[in-house]
């Protein structure tokens, strides 16, 4: 991801987190409370987060029983703190315990929908792989909060990726195309993400639009020149249109880059294999 995009997203997330964390949900859950009372409740919740998360769970290994028990202590005092529920759920998702983790992330959404619903939708898409549920969650996020990002990608990217995984390739391509054109129009080429382009290309590849797929793959490789997964599917596409020598040469390059770790560099790729990610080992 390029530097300017990282900075913009970081600032947007930071401002949102600092200004909005718990505020909307405090108002929703405590109808009739005065601003002074809401401020007191927020201070009390922040204090519990400091005690049981920052100075509690975070001092223990992520998958330890102590992590969970420290959070449980905080929730025993105030079960409406969404961040504690999310932190209770997160290690479980990384351990592949999706059903259990979903119980807790649902609680986080209950108490702070605006902060955690898109995260839950992301988990459904990338971790739990319940794609139709992910689409519903993301579509609801769009209706409630508008066009947005989670984990460096737009809601529409994740919706299109879900359709791709449901073999609804044409629908996926249409959404990828609209999102691609929106980002290009509003931010220019420097804003484009190679992973977005990779899956946009895959949606064409799956429909045997090999020339169009190659064009999109080339855009991804312009940004990330050693992106082995893109090179792999471009090589297959080249073979499909009869360019066998070029395909074989690129495939060898892809294998080398893949074994050297130049694959999908999403933060959560260490926990979950992403769709169409090539296994090089």
Boundaries of every domain in the chain = 21-111, 193-270
Would you state the structure tokens that stand for residue 221, as one six-digit string?
A: 């490789």
pLDDT computed for residue 190 by the predictor = 87
pLDDT computed for residue 5 by the predictor = 54
Give how far Cα 269 sits from Cα of 154, 190, 218, 256, Å: 17, 23, 23, 19
Q: Residue 269: is it exposed, middle or buried by C-beta count within 10 angstroms (0-12/13-18/19+)?
A: middle
Give how far Cα 260 sits from Cα of 7, 226, 228, 254, Å: 28, 10, 9, 10
In this structure, are residues 205 and 233 in contact, taking their beta carbons and an 8 Å threshold? Answer: yes
**Cα separation of 7 and 114, whole Å?**
22
pLDDT computed for residue 17 by the predictor = 44
* DSSP H or E run through 254: helix 244-259
**3-class state of residue 232 by DSSP:** helix
- Total-model pTM: 0.86
**Cα separation of 196 and 107, whole Å?**
30
Question: Low-confidence residues of the chain, pLDDT below 50?
Answer: 1, 3-4, 6-7, 10-23, 25-28, 31
Q: DSSP label at 34?
A: -
pLDDT computed for residue 82 by the predictor = 97
**Cα separation of 230 and 201, whole Å?**
9
CB neighbours of 88 closer than 8 A, spacing ≥ 6?
68, 71, 72, 75, 104
pLDDT computed for residue 28 by the predictor = 47
pLDDT computed for residue 281 by the predictor = 73
pLDDT computed for residue 36 by the predictor = 73
**Cα separation of 160 and 139, whole Å?**
11
Would you state the structure tokens that stand for residue 260, as one six-digit string?
A: 């050297």
pLDDT computed for residue 88 by the predictor = 98
Task: Determine the CATH number of domain 193-270.
Answer: 1.25.40.10
* DSSP H or E run through 3: helix 3-20
């Amino acid at each position: 991801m390029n530097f300017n995009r990282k900075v913009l997203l970081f600032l947007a997330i930071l401002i949102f987190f600092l200004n909005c964390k718990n505020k909307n949900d405090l108002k929703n859950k405590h109808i009739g409370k005065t601003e002074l009372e809401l401020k007191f409740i927020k201070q009390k919740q922040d204090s519990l987060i400091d005690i049981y998360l920052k100075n509690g769970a975070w001092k223990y290994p992520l998958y330890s029983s102590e992590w969970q028990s420290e959070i449980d202590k905080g929730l025993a005092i105030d079960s409406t703190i969404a961040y504690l529920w999310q932190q209770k759920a997160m290690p479980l998702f990384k351990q592949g315990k999706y059903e259990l983790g979903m119980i807790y992330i649902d609680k986080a959404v209950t108490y702070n929908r605006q902060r955690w619903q898109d995260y839950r939708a992301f988990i459904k898409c990338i971790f739990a792989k319940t794609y139709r549920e992910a689409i519903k969650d993301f579509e609801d996020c769009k209706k409630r909060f508008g066009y947005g990002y989670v984990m460096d990608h737009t809601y529409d990217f994740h919706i299109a990726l879900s359709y791709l995984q449901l073999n609804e390739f044409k629908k996926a391509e249409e959404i990828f195309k609209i999102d691609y054109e929106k980002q290009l129009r509003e931010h220019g080429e420097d804003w484009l993400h190679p992973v977005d382009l990779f899956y946009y290309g895959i949606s064409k590849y799956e429909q045997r639009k090999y020339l169009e797929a190659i064009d999109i793959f080339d855009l991804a490789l312009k940004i990330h020149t050693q992106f082995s997964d893109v090179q792999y599917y471009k090589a297959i596409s080249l073979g499909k249109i009869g360019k066998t020598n070029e395909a074989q040469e690129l495939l060898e390059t892809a294998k080398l880059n893949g074994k050297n770790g130049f694959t999908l560099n999403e933060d959560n790729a260490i926990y979950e294999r992403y769709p169409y990610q090539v296994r090089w080992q």
